[in-house]
Amino acid sequence: MDTLTAKTRVFALLGDPVAHSLSPTIQNAAIRATGVDGVYVALRCGAADLPCLLRGIAAAGGGGNVTVPHKELAARVVDAPTAAVVRTGACNTFWWEDGRIRGDNTDVAGFRAAVRALVGAPAGARVLLLGAGGAARGALHALLEDDVASVALYNRTPGRATDLRAAFGDPGCIRVVTDRAALRGERFDLAVNATSLGLHPGDPLPLDFDEVDRVGAALDLVYAVGGTRWVHEAHARGLPAADGLEMLIHQGAAAFERWWGRPAPLDAMREALSMSSRIG
Ligand code: NAP
C-alpha cells in the first residue's frame, strides 16, 4: 500500500457511521505486513447507495466489509452468500469471485475464535447468551455449529429472543429466559454479552454475576480500551474473561483471508490495534 498502482485493489467499509471504525487500521496493517497490492478505506453511505457501491467495488476486483446498519441489506445484495449469511441473515464481508459477488458473515468466525481463545472448543458447554440482535444471531449460529449442550437466551425485549430461537428452528437446546430471577441457582460454563450494554460509561452491567450460581467464563462482545467494566468485574471474581477485541481481530482476519487467499498476519493486526488505542 506504500505505492498505489493501477493494479491496486480497493476495499471499503460501507456503513453509517464509519468514522471511528478500527477496520481500516487493522486491514491496512495487514496489507502492509503481507505486501499485497491493496488499500482499505471507510465510506459512509446510506441504504439507497449501498447496493450500487457494493456491486461496483466488487466488480472492479475489490471487496470490503459492511457494518451497521446495512448488514441485513448486504445479505440480500450479494450473489453467492455463504451458509453463515443465509443462517444469520447478515453479511459483513463481500468480494468478487468467479464472476459473482460472494458474501460471508465473518462475525461468526470471529466469535468462534474468541470463544476458543477464552475457553477452548465449547462442545457440550452450557451457555448464557445475553442479547438478541445481530451480534447474538452470529454468536448463536457459531455456538450451535460447535455443538454446545444448551443456550439460555435472555433479551430485554423477550419477543426478539423468541423470534431468534424460532429463526433457528426452535431447537430444544435453546431456552428463552423471560424472567431474570429464574437464573438464580443456575450454572453456566460461559456467559456472553451480545447486548450493546458497556458501550457507554454509565451503562449497567449486562449481568451481575450474583444473579446466577456460577459462571465459568465471561465473553463480552463490546470492547473498550483497557477492557470493559463487565470484564473487570469478572476478573475481580477470578473468572477468565475477555472483551470483543479478539473477535474484532478474527472477523477482520477471516475477511482478509477471503479477499487475498492467504493467512492473515494476526500479530501485525493486533499490534496496529494496540498502537491505535494507545494513541486514541
Ligand atoms: P443490535 O442488533 O442493535 O442489538 C442490540 C442488543 O442490545 C439487543 O439485544 C438490545 O436489546 C440490547 N440492548 C440495547 N440497549 C440495551 C439496554 N439498555 N438494556 C438491555 N439490553 C439492551 O446490535 P448488535 O449488532 O447485535 O451489536 C451488539 C453489540 O455487540 C455492539 O454494541 C457491539 O459493541 C458488539 N459487537 C462486537 C463485535 C466485535 O467484533 N467485537 C461485532 C459485532 C457486534 P433489545 O432487543 O431489547 O433492544
Average model confidence (pLDDT) across the chain = 95
* AA identity, residue 141: H
CA angle 122, 84, 258 (to 5 degrees): 100
Which residues have CB under 6 Å of ligand 1? 107, 110, 131-136, 155-157, 160, 194-197, 199, 221-223, 244, 247-248, 251
Question: Which residue's CA is the closest to the ligand 1 atom numbered 18?
Answer: 197
Residue 2 has what pLDDT?
65
Pocket test for ligand 1, best of 71, 88, 196 (most atoms within 8 A of CB): 196
Query: Does residue 71 carry a catalytic annotation?
Result: yes
Residue 274 has what pLDDT?
86
- Distance of alpha carbon 270 from alpha carbon 248, whole angstroms: 10
**pLDDT averages per 10-residue partition of the chain, 280 residues:** 88 95 96 98 98 98 96 97 95 97 98 97 98 94 97 97 96 96 95 94 95 97 90 98 95 98 97 75
Residue 162 has what pLDDT?
98
> Strand pairing partners for 219?
192, 242
Contact 44, 240 (CB under 8 A): no
Residue 280 has what pLDDT?
46
